[in-house]
Amino acid sequence: MWKHIAANALTFLIVALFLFGGVIAWGTNEYSAEGPLDQAICVQVRSGSNMRLVSVDLAEQNAISSPAIFRMGVDYSDKASLLKAGSFLVPERSSMAEIVDIVTRGGQSTCGTEIVYRVGVTRVVAQVRELDPVSGRFVELADFDPAEVGETPVAYTETRAADDTQYRVVIAEGVTSWQVVQALNSLEFMDGEVSDIPLEGNLAPDSYQVQPGDSVAELLAVMESSQARILASAWAERADGLPLSSPQEALILASIIEKEASTSDERFDVASVFVNRLNLGMRLQTDPTVIYGVTEGRGVLGRGLRQSELRAETPWNTYVIAGLPETPIANPGAATIEAALNPASTDFIFFVAKTLDPRDGHNFAVTLDDHNANVAIYRALEAERAALTDN
């Protein structure tokens, strides 16, 4: 009798273990399988939230088949403590495992409504936009200059009042450190006005996600750390034989290229011109350095250069001084730093704008005769425009 009971118990245990293993296998498969979501959604994870609340929200939006399996998968992968606040784009058919990775990997929010402050060379623009999860494109709700006196767009006011609004500061390539500080100090949602201007060239142009109450000084420190990493990496991979003795000289050259290159495609050719000139002992003779000598990076000149300014000796006027200026003249982007340290292999010594639209790039030349011919073409375009203006 006892043998019979023991045999039945063993059989029951085996069956139970088999069934339990089957349940685990089924749950594991469900966790990794394609999800039920038929179109992309934006999932908002509020500060202080947890995986239980997230799983309920995902189930309500039909993004997962089982909140329980979702949470068990989170626990098994030991990611419960890695949940990040923000708004995250969940593509259609995402598995539970993929969704967990999306809301725990960190980094910037990938969807939702955001206010973007774009700090450009000539002005700061505030933009309110919302990502359409289905198309994956941002829908612009408002675009305005916050410095201009006038009625603030309703979309901006409403978005500023919402708790889940994201904020982003985008620094354009070629902006000076003074311009960056002025722009950040003017942002009403950031704290701690800064009076000391970071060294020119030391701020990395990029897109930075910020939050209300963030410190201006801390954001500037992030920009400086980022630029230092970019410069160190590019310097380590620099081409041989460059007429540059230090990363700082590379940064100075990159800042000039940033102000002169009209298109991203011609950065490496512009870099080759300046490298060739340095190798030949020629003066760089570039207008942006003269302009920086006049403004010292504090705003835009807003007019043409005078002959007296072209002749004036400043630490930056490359028509007068030999070699590189004393400091950078702007904050160059990573791509331009790369171009400065890995220029194209050319014999170009000269360049001049192709047309009156700077977006059209430059004509490059090896000889002075060819350069003068290119200049003549440009002067003819200037004369043609002047004649049309007079009429």
CATH number, position 74: 3.30.1490.480
The pLDDT-based confidence of 84 (bands split at 50, 70, 90) is confident
Q: With respect to residue 4, please indicate whether it lies within any of the assigned structural domains.
A: no
pLDDT in tens, 136-190: 888 898 998 888 867 788 988 888 888 778 899 999 999 999 999 999 999 988 9
What is the residue-wise DSSP string for 298-350? SS---SPPPHHHHHS--TT-TTTSSSS-SS-SS---HHHHHHHHS-------E
Instruction: Specify whether 68 is located in the same domain as 45.
Output: yes
Averaged confidence pLDDT in the chain: 88
pLDDT over 60 at 95, yes or no: yes
Q: With respect to residue 202, please indicate whether it lies within any of the assigned structural domains.
A: yes
Residue 375 sits in which domain range?
A: 238-390
| Residue entry with tokens 């230092």 | 228
pLDDT in tens, 41-58: 888 888 788 888 888 888
C-alpha angle 248-252-257 in degrees, rounded to nearest 5: 140
What is the residue-wise DSSP string for 91-129? -TT--HHHHHHHHHS-SS--SSEEEEEEE-SS-EEEEEE
Instruction: Specify whether 95 is located in the same domain as 117.
Output: no
Q: With respect to residue 296, please indicate whether it lies within any of the assigned structural domains.
A: yes
Instruction: Specify whether 190 is located in the same domain as 322.
Output: no
- For residues 128 and 140, is the Cβ–Cβ distance under 8 A? yes
Rounded to whole angstroms, the Cα distance separating 309 from 294 reads 8
Q: With respect to residue 10, please indicate whether it lies within any of the assigned structural domains.
A: no
Q: With respect to residue 106, please indicate whether it lies within any of the assigned structural domains.
A: yes
Rounded to whole angstroms, the Cα distance separating 289 from 302 reads 15
HSE-up of 105 (CA within 13 Å, CB side)?
13
Q: What is the pLDDT of residue 19?
A: 44
Instruction: Specify whether 57 is located in the same domain as 171.
Output: no
Q: Which two tokens stand for residue 263?
A: 């298109």
Instruction: Specify whether 262 is located in the same domain as 381.
Output: yes
Instruction: Specify whether 216 is located in the same domain as 274.
Output: no
Domain's final residue, options 231, 265, 292: 231
Q: What is the pLDDT of residue 24?
A: 57
What is the residue-wise DSSP string for 168-179? EEEEPTT--HHH
Instruction: Specify whether 127 is located in the same domain as 222.
Output: yes
Instruction: Specify whether 280 is located in the same domain as 383.
Output: yes
Instruction: Specify whether 246 is located in the same domain as 366.
Output: yes
What is the helix (H) or strand (E) element at residue 154, kind and residue range?
A: helix 154-161
- For residues 50 and 112, is the Cβ–Cβ distance under 8 A? no
Instruction: Specify whether 144 is located in the same domain as 287.
Output: no
Q: What is the pLDDT of residue 11?
A: 52
Looking at the structure of the chain, the number of domains it has is: 3
Q: What is the largest CA-CA distance in the chain?
A: 117
pLDDT in tens, 336-385: 999 999 999 999 999 999 988 888 899 999 999 999 999 999 999 888 88
